[in-house]
């Protein structure tokens, strides 16, 4: 199989490295890719949201499959355009990707089909939203932009001032463009967070090994929300009982609900969950692999990923036995100084070999550029330093030992990835 992966972050690097293990895969391409990916797959400069460009590239390369990894091309309908040309894909079509593309849609879906989630109201004018906040008078309040916002569209407001400010800048100031024309205000939930990515062909749903993200920029869950500063797998809060509860109350009902709505979901459906004192509730759905969850989940996969992708496309997922290694995995993100706000690019990186790797770990590149044998920073999240081990402690020790050897000016990372997971035992 010749496979083209669309995207250019650590998640895409992880997908490519797993596909590389498949004896069926002969050629791997990535667009736009990044410095690290370019050491393992041929990269092109067609942007990840350029639908016509990706269709043309797929035809030119005569690929057998295109894996559309990021949210925005999925929400824009890249899969539909590729399928219209008879090209096999991995990823949901536009009708199904709305489960991530619109929080108003996903909240209404959950309400209609009785899937547990935080209570909420939807608003399109700031005056009614503010009136509602004043009436509820319950803080922290959770305010979410309806559409895609690079993981930055959720504000946890500590008091009325912050909440009013958030509503005004989202609805009136169009902080996230049309994505914040509508907002969802929801009940604040507490409990450990659990990410469960799943493979589904619309009939069968197979949860992958669970993981835990660390969204805040700084140690102790301080600082701004980011795309994710590190992950561990498996997530110890995802017990056998909780897994059963999720399958019965959340995973199957969601697949069935999407079918009932005429929006059959095929691809990777990501369940962002919170184990609250009143049971597990859905915080969000994503229509794709998580980043950096994929970097800790796929290394533990013990089944041919190309076979799984093909089965999802063909609707034969129930024929495959998907296996996982009995190990732990940890990923520590090294980010550019200033991230998630503004940050410099083009800073030389030290401590990695000619493939952008380091001893004892695998370095997934998220935002790097490769030039004349050197790596330079080229994004907010730069690399994800990842290790597996018999125990989580072992995996974390290996990751952090490598992190200390890699450096670039201004770079920073969290020192407490996996701390909450270790405390669960």
Interacting residue with ligand GLY among 77, 151, 192, 389 (CB under 6 A): 151
Helices 126-136 and 160-167, interaxial angle, to 10°? 160
Q: 228 is in the binding site of which of ligand GLY, ligand AMP, none (Cβ under 5 to 8 A by kind)? A: ligand GLY
Query: Which tokens belong to 135?
Result: 């009436």
- What would you measure as the largest C-alpha separation in the chain, in angstroms? 61
Query: 333: closest CA among 293, 298, 388?
Result: 293
Minimum distance from CB of 141 to ligand AMP (Å)? 9
Is the N-terminal amide bond of 234 cis, ω within 30° of 0?
A: yes
Interacting residue with ligand AMP among 82, 283, 305, 387 (CB under 6 A): 283
Of 129 and 282, CB closest to ligand GLY: 282
DSSP secondary structure of 54-90 = HHHHHHHHT-SEEEE-SHHHHHHTHHHHHHHTT-EEE
Of 123 and 285, CB closest to ligand GLY: 285
Binding of residue 389 to ligand GLY (CB under 6 A): no
Interacting residue with ligand AMP among 12, 50, 71, 284 (CB under 6 A): 284
Query: 329: closest CA among 367, 357, 292?
Result: 292
Interacting residue with ligand GLY among 92, 101, 228, 340 (CB under 6 A): 228
Binding of residue 118 to ligand AMP (CB under 6 A): yes
Query: 269: closest CA among 194, 192, 196?
Result: 196
Which residues inside 139-198 make contact with ligand AMP, applying CB under 6 A?
Answer: 142, 154, 156, 186-189, 193
Binding mask 200-219 for ligand GLY (x = CB under 6 A): -------------x------
Of 11 and 18, CB closest to ligand AMP: 11
Binding of residue 327 to ligand GLY (CB under 6 A): no
CA distance 251 to 263: 15
Query: 253: closest CA among 141, 67, 99, 61?
Result: 99
Binding of residue 379 to ligand AMP (CB under 6 A): no
Q: 252 is in the binding site of which of ligand AMP, ligand GLY, none (Cβ under 5 to 8 A by kind)? A: none
Q: 12 is in the binding site of which of ligand AMP, ligand GLY, none (Cβ under 5 to 8 A by kind)? A: none
From residue 119, alpha-carbon distances to 167, 180, 275 in Å are 18, 19, 15
Cβ-Cβ contacts under 8 Å for 190 (sequence gap 6 or more): 274, 276, 277
Interacting residue with ligand GLY among 101, 153, 234, 290 (CB under 6 A): 290
User: In terms of DSSP bridges, do strands 230-233 and 362-365 run parallel, antiparallel, or are they unpaired?
Assistant: unpaired
Of 283 and 322, CB closest to ligand AMP: 283
Binding mask 254-273 for ligand AMP (x = CB under 6 A): ------------------x-
Interacting residue with ligand GLY among 286, 336, 377, 386 (CB under 6 A): 286
CA distance 122 to 105: 10
Minimum distance from CB of 316 to ligand GLY (Å)? 27
Cα atoms in the Cβ-side hemisphere of radius 13 Å centred on 235: 26
- Part of the chain binding ligand GLY (CB under 6 A), chosen from 122-130, 174-182, 290-298, 322-330: 290-298
Interacting residue with ligand GLY among 293, 310, 392, 398 (CB under 6 A): 293
CA distance 104 to 66: 29
The 8-class DSSP code of residue 407 comes to: B
Binding-site ranges for ligand GLY (CB under 6 A) = 151, 213, 227-228, 286, 290-291, 293
């Amino acid at each position: 199989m010749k496979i083209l992966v669309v995207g250019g972050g650590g998640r895409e690097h992880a997908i490519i490295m797993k596909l590389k293990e498949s004896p069926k895969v002969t050629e791997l391409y990535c667009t736009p890719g990044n410095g690290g990916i370019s050491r393992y797959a041929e990269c092109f400069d067609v942007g990840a949201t350029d639908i016509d460009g990706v269709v043309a590239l797929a035809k030119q390369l005569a690929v057998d499959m295109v894996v559309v990894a990021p949210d925005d091309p999925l929400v824009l309908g890249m899969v539909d355009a590729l399928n219209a040309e008879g090209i096999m894909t991995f990823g949901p079509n536009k009708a199904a990707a709305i489960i991530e593309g619109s929080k108003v849609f996903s909240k209404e879906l959950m309400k209609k089909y009785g899937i547990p989630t935080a209570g909420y109201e939807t608003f399109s004018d700031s005056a009614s939203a503010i009136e509602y906040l004043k009436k509820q008078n319950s803080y922290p309040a959770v305010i979410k932009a309806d559409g895609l916002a690079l993981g930055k569209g959720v504000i946890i407001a500590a008091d009325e001032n912050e909440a009013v400010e958030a509503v005004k800048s989202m609805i009136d100031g169009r902080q996230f463009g049309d994505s914040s024309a509508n907002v969802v205000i929801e009940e604040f939930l507490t409990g450990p967070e659990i990410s469960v990515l799943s493979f589904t062909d619309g009939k069968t749903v197979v949860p992958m090994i669970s993981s835990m993200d660390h969204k805040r920029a700084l140690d102790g869950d301080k600082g701004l929300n980011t795309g994710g500063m590190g992950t561990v797998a498996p997530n110890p809060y995802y017990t056998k009982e909780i897994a059963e509860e999720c399958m019965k109350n959340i995973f199957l009902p969601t697949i069935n609900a999407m079918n009932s709505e005429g929006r059959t979901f095929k691809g990777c459906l990501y369940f962002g969950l919170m184990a609250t004192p009143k049971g597990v509730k859905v915080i969000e759905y994503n229509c794709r692999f998580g980043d950096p969850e994929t970097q800790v989940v796929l290394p533990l996969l013990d089944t041919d990923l190309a076979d799984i992708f093909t089965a999802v496309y063909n609707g034969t997922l129930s024929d495959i036995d998907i296996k996982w290694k009995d190990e732990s995995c940890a990923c520590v993100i090294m980010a550019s100084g200033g991230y998630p706000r503004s940050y410099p690019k083009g800073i030389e990186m030290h401590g990695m070999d000619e493939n952008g790797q380091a001893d004892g770990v695998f370095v997934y590149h998220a935002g790097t550029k490769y030039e004349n044998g050197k790596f330079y920073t080229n994004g907010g999240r730069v690399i994800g330093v990842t290790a597996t081990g018999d125990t989580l402690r072992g995996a974390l020790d290996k990751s952090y030992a490598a992190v200390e050897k890699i450096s670039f000016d201004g770079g920073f990372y969290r020192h407490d990835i996996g701390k909450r997971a270790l405390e669960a035992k």
